[in-house]
Amino acid sequence: MNLLVGVRFLSVGRALDLVIFSFAPKDGPPESVRLHVKCPCRIRHREWLLLGAGDLAYFNADQQTLFDRRAAKLNEILDCHQVEVEGVKCGPAGSLALDFADEFKIEAFPYSSKKVEAWRVLRVGGEHLGYPEDLI
């Protein structure tokens, strides 16, 4: 998963229920590395949950999801700070963890025994990796 180590975390967003994390590699244009997640995922700092895929289910009076509101706030913070991926761990049954400084983490948890794509890491126009591997 060397594709993610050392890249700068730029933003988080979504397309319907697909969570999209965008990164800037040192050797390429901004947002040219992405993590697409279709399974439960979250961003946490130490023991605090900052954003989770479950936040997509909660709307305010303006029909904006809790996910969208929290992602906008997190993206403002990311605009002001250099946050780089320090390590990547692929665990059992497709779990994925991206580690950053100061106990900041992105985690994904495939939850279906059906063979469906849970997550994919890609360089735009290039390499693709994901889980399950044989679907990528």
Q: For residues 53 and 13, is the Cβ–Cβ distance under 8 A? A: no
Strands (E), 47-94: 48-52, 87-90
Measuring CA to CA, which residue among 43, 103, 76, 79 is closest to residue 55? 43
Measuring CA to CA, which residue among 112, 107, 104 is closest to residue 89? 107
The pLDDT tens digits of the residues spanning 105-122 come to 999 999 999 999 999 999
| pLDDT for residue 31 | 81
| pLDDT for residue 135 | 87
Q: Backbone dihedral region of 71: left (phi > 0), alpha (psi from -120 to 50 degrees) or beta?
A: alpha
| Residue 14 domain boundaries | 8-135
Q: How many CA atoms lie within 13 A of 119 on its CB side?
A: 26
Residue 125, domain member (yes or no): yes
Q: Which H or E run includes 42? A: strand 41-45
pLDDT at 1 over 80: no
Residue 95, domain member (yes or no): yes
Residue 1, domain member (yes or no): no
Residue 35, domain member (yes or no): yes
The pLDDT tens digits of the residues spanning 46-61 come to 999 999 999 999 999 8
Please state the domain count of the chain: 1
The pLDDT tens digits of the residues spanning 22-33 come to 999 887 788 899
Query: pLDDT confidence of 88, banded at 50, 70, 90?
Result: very high
Residue 3, domain member (yes or no): no
